[in-house]
A and B are shown apart, each in its own frame.
Chain A
Amino acid sequence: MYNFNFEPVFAGFDQLLLGAWLTIQLSVAAMILGLIVSIACAAGKTSGVAPLRFLIDAYIEVIRNTPFLVQIFFIFFGLPSLGLRLTPNGAALLALVVNFGAYGTEIIRAGIESIQKGQVEAGTALGLSKLQIFRYIIMKPALRTVYPALTSQFIYLMLTSSVVSAISADDLAAAGNNLQSQTFASFEVYIVITIMYLVMSVGFSMIFSAIEKAAFKYPLSR
């Protein structure tokens, strides 16, 4: 019978906490940058310029139909031959942004398409500029509509980010790899880490629903 030995895991728990903090930082940074990419791509896709739309479609399809692990290998090992040399952490962030951007674009595009044409026409009639229309009439209600989809995509991003440990970027999974190579308590380390990921995903979904209640209080229609 196997004897569980959690002592070395808890002795190195501060390493794991630091790793969890790095995972949160990495995911939040990737989501913010990824959202900017998504909004730009969604705006480009709905703009109606055909070559631009084709390029964005190609980007989305390539990212959504290849594994994240291969994307990160391509960015970390492949891009240096094009002269772009990245640190593991930089490559991890870039890969997560590129990956989130593809999924986020589709989510935001769905939100933009849910806005009725009459709203935009009303904005034009009121003399709002193109940017003002995009900012206040399209994006604000669109983001509200797709908020639940975006938050679950964020949690998925955070879970996916564990893969960056494969190129030895710093995150919770990498902290776990280090700890298990020092203590040899592999199963114990990974069970604690898995629970930490579970706590983070439950915690974030609670935070997100609190934000939803506070930020989207204004009525939908009158």
Chain B
Amino acid sequence: MPLIRPFGINEFWIIVFAAQWTIALSAIAFAGGGIGGLLIALLRVSDAKWPRLVATGFIRVFQGTPLLMQLFLVFFGMNIMGFAINPWLAATVAFTLHASAFLGEIWRGCIEAVPPGQREAATALGLRYYNRMRYIILPQASKIAVAPTVGFLVQLIKGTSLAAIIGFTELTRQGQIINNATFSPFLVFGTVAAVYFVLCWPLSVLARRMEIRFSRATTR
């Protein structure tokens, strides 16, 4: 068998199918980040001082440091805590934390955008914290949140490419592997970029449309 094989239709499909791992990692991080983000957002708008400070610190640290370093810290941190080095686990944990911080900050803005009169009215009606959030604040905030959340999903999908650096075989890493075998980087990374574009572009367009529709609906 020759050392360098040509970039053919098989190599193309191997790259396209590697997108499933990018999608899987993004979906897990988005789901985990959704739960974590809601928690962070609620802490961030809490009336008590300490939860607010903790949430603010968490957001600041994740927004002020590179995603790559967050990934490295979780990857090597798991090792020293006695877990075996596992790119799957490290990537999942790191991207979940990252998404929690960013979604938490986005959703904090959405919760604060709900007019304060809504909260006051709910309190006046005797609704406690849980019911007030569950039935009054969050349903209204979630309407505002849809467009920026979809926008963040695009950022998250692109971010998962960094998992390639710690050896997680997703779309970008598969591209590197195929490139090492075929040595046609122009075609390989062109294909990889095209697959990311196909994943991300419709979401970007959707986010933009929703934003326009929302701003039309709210400006009277």
Chain B residues touching A, range: 35 or more
- Would you list 10 pairs from A and B whose C-beta atoms are within 8 A, ordered by A residue? A62-B193, A65-B196, A70-B196, A74-B186, A77-B179, A82-B186, A173-B68, A197-B65, A198-B61, A198-B64
Main secondary structure of the interface of A (DSSP, over half): helix
- How far apart sit A194 and B61, CA to CA, in the bound complex (Å)? 9
B210 within 8 A of A: no
A81 within 8 A of B: yes
Tell me whether A74 and B72 are in contact in the complex, defined as CB-CB below 8 angstroms, given that A61-B201, A67-B172, A67-B196 are known contacts: no
Question: For B184, what are the chain A residues with a Cβ–Cβ distance below 8 Å?
Answer: 81
Question: For A173, what are the chain B residues with a Cβ–Cβ distance below 8 Å?
Answer: 66, 68-69
Tell me whether A197 and B73 are in contact in the complex, defined as CB-CB below 8 angstroms, given that A69-B172, A71-B193 are known contacts: no
- How near does chain A come to B158, taking the closest CB pair, in angstroms? 4
Task: Pick the interface stretch among B75-83, B121-129, B142-150.
Answer: B75-83
Question: For B175, what are the chain A residues with a Cβ–Cβ distance below 8 Å?
Answer: 70, 73
Chain A positions within 8 Å of B, measured between CB atoms, are 2, 61-62, 64-71, 73-74, 77-82, 155, 159-160, 162-163, 165-166, 173, 186-187, 190-191, 193-194, 197-198, 201-202
Question: For A197, what are the chain B residues with a Cβ–Cβ distance below 8 Å?
Answer: 64-66, 69
The 3 closest A-B pairs by CB, nearest first: A77-B185, A67-B161, A65-B200
Interface pair B197/A62, CB less than 8 Å apart: yes
- How far apart sit A129 and B77, CA to CA, in the bound complex (Å)? 61
- How near does chain B come to A53, taking the closest CB pair, in angstroms? 17
Interface pair A194/B65, CB less than 8 Å apart: yes
B101 within 8 A of A: no
Interface pair A159/B161, CB less than 8 Å apart: no
